[in-house]
Amino acid sequence: MVILTLNCGSSSVKYQVYDWAAQSILAAGIVERVTQSGSVISHKVPGREEFTQNHECPNHTVAIELILNTITGAETGVIKGMSDIKAVGHRMVHGGSKFARSCLIDDEFLATFKSLNDLAPLHNPANLLGVEAARSVLPKVPQCAIMDTAWHQTMPESSYLYAVPYEWYEKNMVRRYGFHGTSFLYNAKRAAVLLGKDPFKTNLIIAHIGNGASINAVKDGCSFDTSMGLTPLEGLVMGTRSGDIDPGIIFHMIRQTGMSAADIEKKLNKESGVLGVTGKWADRRDVEMGAEKGDPRALAALHLESYRIKKYIGAYYAALGRVDALVFTAGVGEMGPIIRALATEGLAEMGIKIDPEKNKLAKCRNAELEITGAGSKVRVFVIPTDEELVMTEDAYALISGKYDVHTKYTYSFQRKDYVNKARAEGLARDLEKKPYLKDLIAKVP
């Protein structure tokens, strides 16, 4: 059984092709610059050279057709034909309070999901375009919605309510929802395995640090609090998003400059964060290089982002009372030792210590690493996230009638002997170049 997963943004479509029977990734890739000139597909198949092709994609339907043609092509294909695809899993960003779990997509679902567009105007419409495009190209294949917000539906009122007029919550759905749910679910389950603990007796702080970034307090295996709120704008400093600010700044800038609400929204989502502080860089690698050369704004951005992460770690430690492990994940979390070091600096009194040397060396997308320092009460892991696997497993469970919420369902990656075959092959290559990684690999008890 082959399952295709799609993650549709406003100008991109990420995809993965998964062979359920073999429990292996057949291909993965991305179509970039959808709806823009210069569209290109990058297609990766284990054991082959990466394939890239320029192909204009004026809309998402053409992009998905390009993906399907690529995965079935004579030179690039990994399946015989589109009939091999038995389910499509879609990442859906904002399910509001309407969707507390993954579900099959039908006309009723689409009507309800469209009503939530105002909650995530930068994300939900793009997700819908992907669903509609996939349904038109693969009309007989079950389409499954995997909600980014579903993981956080276990938060208590004290975590999700805002101190605003209560009717805003009742009538306008104003509350904390949280995002990066598939990543947090995967990391929570994997961290429990590495700790050798029952996942529902495990307390964690998980920092998903990428271009978009959020942090999650996990209590007894369930989401208890998270930094993103009504939208993905709140919380940590991100690549182009501001994170937490004084709401009064918005009114101040409107009065001072005459900016419209749309202007402000664009500035806070696309021109703030690390990019806003540095004035030229959103990629943390560029920021780190700038900081090394003494660029004052790069240094400011680096320390601002790390300090915000540290503040949330401290707040969530207080909220949980006991923490079994701190987990870093996603692009920067997995590959950014400088930010990890700065974010944990001075936390020894709280029982969080990292090994400086291990942290410097811990840069790998193919293995779960441990960077816990001597005497640390809290374990510290670097875990490569796998949102696509969560999407794939949810899609399979939905079409086979086995699906349930994560508190009642066991994923394959919760097994002690679970192995990601593609990552295992990648790790073997990594170890040839970086043999020291072997000593950092977290051991399953």
Q: How many CA atoms lie within 13 A of 436 on its CB side?
A: 7
Per-residue model confidence (pLDDT) at position 309: 98
Per-residue model confidence (pLDDT) at position 95: 86
Per-residue model confidence (pLDDT) at position 127: 86
Per-residue model confidence (pLDDT) at position 60: 87
CA pair distance 41, 30, nearest whole angstrom: 6
Per-residue model confidence (pLDDT) at position 100: 85
- Two tokens at 424? 């295992």
The residue behind tokens 């349904």 is 135
What tens-digit pLDDT sequence spans the chain (445 residues)? Answer: 899 999 887 678 899 999 999 999 999 999 988 888 899 999 999 889 999 999 999 988 899 899 999 999 999 999 998 899 999 999 998 888 888 899 999 999 999 888 888 787 777 888 888 898 889 888 999 999 999 999 999 999 999 999 999 999 999 999 999 999 999 999 999 999 999 999 999 999 999 999 899 999 999 999 999 999 999 999 999 999 999 999 999 999 999 999 999 999 999 999 999 999 999 999 899 999 999 999 999 999 999 999 999 999 999 999 999 999 999 999 899 999 999 999 999 999 999 999 999 999 999 999 999 999 999 999 999 999 999 999 999 999 999 999 999 999 999 999 999 999 889 989 999 999 999 999 999 999 9
Contact 126, 117 (CB under 8 A): no
User: Thinking of the domain 194-383, which architecture would CATH place it in?
Assistant: 2-Layer Sandwich (3.30)
Q: What is the CATH number of domain 2-147?
A: 3.30.420.40
Contact 357, 318 (CB under 8 A): no
CA pair distance 30, 88, nearest whole angstrom: 16
The CA–CA distances, whole Å, from 358 to 145, 231, 241, 404 equal 39, 35, 30, 38
Q: Point out the residues that are catalytic.
A: 148
The alpha carbon of 28 is separated from its chain's Cα centroid by a whole number of angstroms, namely 16
Per-residue model confidence (pLDDT) at position 61: 87
Per-residue model confidence (pLDDT) at position 76: 94
CATH 3.30.420.40 in the chain, residue ranges: 2-147, 194-383
Per-residue model confidence (pLDDT) at position 268: 95
For residue 2, what are the β-bridge partners?
Answer: 19, 85
Question: 238: closest CA among 173, 160, 179?
Answer: 179
Per-residue model confidence (pLDDT) at position 12: 82
